[in-house]
Amino acid sequence: MSEQDGLLSSRANASYSATAGPHSGAAEAATVTFNSVRYSLLIRRGPPCCFPPERKEILLGVSGVFQPGMNAVLGPTGSGKSSLLDVIAGRKNPQNLTGTILINGEPPPKNFKCVSGYVVQEDVVMGTLTVRENLLFSAALRLPASVSRYDRGRRVAELLDQLGLTGVADSRIGTQLTRGVSGGERRRTSIGMELIASPKVLFLDEPTTGLDASTANSVMRILRNISRRGTTIIFSIHQPRYEIFKTFDSLTLLSKGQIVYHGDSVTSLDYFQRLGYVCEMHNNPLDFYMDILSGDARPTEVDSAAAKVNFDHQDSVQGWLVATYQGSEVWRDVNARIAPVLEAFSNRQMRGYRPQSTANNPTYQTSFFRQLAVVSQRATKNLLRNPQTSIAQLVLNVLFSVLVGLIYLQIPADTISGVQNRVGVFFFTTMNMVFGNMGALELFLHERTIFVHESVSGYYRVSVYFLAKVFCDLIPMRLVPLMLYSPISYFMIGLNPRLDKFFVYFLNLLLVSMAGSSLAFFLSATVSVFAIATIFLALSFVFMMVFAGLLVNVSTMGEWLSWAKYLSIFRYSMNALSINEMKDLQFCNETANICFDLGNKYLSDQGIPYENEIDLWINEIALGGFIFGFLVLAYVQLRRSGKFR
């Protein structure tokens, strides 16, 4: 054993019960029973007009028992390992699910996600935070509000020591741009965030993926020691080393959604040897099992039943393995453990038993406002520790405002050319405010995996995350750059110097910027591929730009197309800026020595209502409506994303 493995193992041996704290005790033991579980999905293989959806069976009536300890689920890619974990953890749509799942003989509570832990295959931790800050974030949301800040800190310190992370506790996880902790330390941090609440059941999807053999072994040793304190650990895994195999208590082998073995890991070799499959010396048993499931390994001794199997055809081998398992002593032992649990539950139902009411089910551990404060604090830290984007946006806005100011420097207010230049300024500025928010697509795309995991795991409400993103990311990243852009451009251009006119100019640019970024936020919550979201957003902006009133006079359009002007945030921005600057503004022809209301004439020619004061504010209200509408749609999409995996 390496020095690092020894250190981690010794730390992992430290018992929860040896440390103080309201949540440092061992988790209550939980036995998971599942019977005849079937899970399917509707798959569409072409356009809806031509190809009706087909139902694909993922799990085909699997049954078994997971007791406290290390419960491994093994199988080839596509065998249903992750789906089995998700189904038991309540992370799949129940409409596609049949069968019975019981926790200690009872149906899982409605918010089972709040009393269980789930470590996904990808490490979903905030890269700009330190290891300690990520664990404190989980503790602040997943421990009851009655737990003091001191006790939460002590609980985090215990986990840091137990997981061997004390040395890197104050190191940042790392992002794509900044180097952070190692892969094994990231994985242990992910595990620690789930262990904060001392879950009854801990699920892990491929916990050793992306780790070298030594680090993977260290992680599994830690999990084994945690399981020895009463936690039921259920994990999927893909071809681990033999040292990891020795940490298993039970082994479940899946092939195409069916179980071919479910029992003690130590007796699995004897079971397959009785079928004629003999594992050679020095061969990893788990690699040997994968060869059996894929049909690459053949029994050395073929009995009468196996003689009828076509070992050159994988489906034939799978069918024989499933049928053999269902007629074996191993299955009878599993069924003997399942039957009394199902019978007791059925008897309670016949006596009028009903599951506990929703009011008694575990709910979020913290209040809405507590969650909002914690998530907002993290969003602010993430924004401040990612200065590249924010600083670049500030610098570009200052440079662009100076450039616009120099191009349109002190436009004269008493010449006819002032109309053209002012309209050009308004169009140029509006286009900058709208297209400058293409970067808002990253508001959710880069955090999608983190949000989905934390929302499904019961860290916080979807509304909390939504409001934190709006108030701590969306608004500040639009407001602060605009506070630099507006005064520089406005007074360099030489627009109306009245303070109320400048206020309308600033408000209009803020609203149009928020409208553009809100549309980007909605698309980022709807489309998971950045390139596709960018195309949709760019096309939407170009469509709106055509109907702004500068490229095409919207008053001359036919009725069949004129309705599109109401969908253009460019048009409302241009209208408001034009009314604000040009209403009642006198322009003079120096040659003819005549002055007249050319500003009002321009507004009339463009079909822009301007006579009443409300005409200006209707455009601002419309921009506010776009903001509200896009944000509501974004929230709806967030709720859909955070419901099931």
Q: Are residues 157 and 290 in the same domain?
A: no
Examine residue 3 and state whether it is found in any structural domain, yes or no: no
Distance CA 25, CA 22 (A): 7
Q: Are 12 and 222 in contact (CB under 8 A)?
A: yes
What confidence tens digit (pLDDT) does each residue in 396-443 have?
888 989 998 898 888 876 666 777 788 888 988 999 889 888 878 877
Q: Are 494 and 631 found together in one domain?
A: yes
Do 181 and 209 lie in one domain? The reply is no
* Domain carrying residue 74: 32-115+199-351
Residue 38 or residue 305, greater confidence: 38
390: enclosing H helix or E strand: helix 387-407
- Tokens encoding 281: 């010396």
Cα atoms in the Cβ-side hemisphere of radius 13 Å centred on 262: 26
Burial of 433 (0-12, 13-18, 19+ CB in 10 A): buried
One domain for residues 314 and 402: no
Asked whether residue 554 carries a pLDDT value surpassing 90, the answer given is no
The tokens describing 539, both together, are: 């096309």
Q: What percent of the chain has pLDDT over 90?
A: 38
Structural domain includes residue 27: no
Q: What is the mean pLDDT of residues 323-352?
A: 89
Q: Of the spans 190-199, 208-217, 508-517, 523-532, which averages the highest pLDDT?
A: 508-517
* Confidence at 282, pLDDT banded by 50, 70, 90: confident
Shared domain check, 255 and 165: no
Q: What is the pLDDT of residue 365?
A: 84
Which of 180, 198, 216 terminates a domain? The answer is: 198
Spatial distance between the Cα atoms of 569 and 516, rounded to a whole number of angstroms: 8
Q: Would residue 325 count as lying in a domain?
A: yes
Is 302 in contact with 276 (CB distance < 8 Å)? yes
Mean pLDDT of the chain: 84
- Considering the domain boundaries, does residue 374 fall inside one? no
Q: Which of 27-36, 332-341, 488-497 has the lowest mean pLDDT?
A: 27-36
pLDDT of residue 20 exceeding 50, the answer is: no
* pLDDT value at residue 603: 82
pLDDT of residue 105 exceeding 70, the answer is: yes
Same domain, 277 and 154: no
Higher pLDDT, 341 or 301: 341
Whether residue 399 is found in the same domain as residue 433: yes
- Which pLDDT belongs to residue 360? 42
Residue 362 has pLDDT above 70, yes or no: no
Q: How confident is the model at residue 15 (pLDDT cuts 50, 70, 90)?
A: very low
Predicted TM-score (pTM) of the model is: 0.83
pLDDT classification of 56: cutoffs 50, 70, 90: confident
Lowest pLDDT segment from 16-25, 316-325, 386-395 = 16-25
- Domain boundary (198, 221, 238) is at 198
Residue 309 confidence (pLDDT): 63
Number of folded domains that form the chain: 3
Lowest model confidence (mean pLDDT) among 1-15, 66-80, 162-176, 436-450: 1-15
* Domain CATH code at residue 163: 3.40.50.300
Other CB atoms within a 10 A radius of the CB of residue 440 amount to 25
Judge if 127 and 108 occupy the same domain.
no
Buried b (16+ CB within 10 A) or exposed e, 574-605: bbbbbbbbbbebebbeeeeeeeeebbbebbee
Does residue 168 lie within any of the structural domains? yes
Pair (449, 590) in one structural domain: yes
Residue 637's CB is within 10 A of a number of other CB atoms, namely 18
In a domain, 594, yes or no: yes
Q: What is the 3-state secondary structure (H, E, C) of 151-203?
A: HHHHHHHHHHHHCCCHHHCCCECCCCCCCCCCHHHHHHHHHHHHHCCCCCEEE
Domain boundary among 198, 226, 254: 198
Choose the most confident range, by mean pLDDT, from 40-44, 177-181, 507-511, 580-584.
507-511
The closest alpha carbon to 187, from 157, 161, 218, belongs to 218
Q: 19 in a domain, yes or no? A: no
Least confident of 368-377, 413-422, 468-477: 413-422
Tokens of 71: 């419960």
Cα angle for residues 610, 611, 615 (degrees, 5° grid): 50
Shared-domain flag, residues 411 and 497: yes
Are 241 and 344 contained in the same domain?
Answer: yes
Same domain, 390 and 420: yes
Q: Is the pLDDT of residue 7 over 60?
A: no
More confidently predicted of 44 and 198: 198
Q: Is 458 a member of any domain?
A: yes
Q: What is the per-residue pLDDT for 28?
A: 60
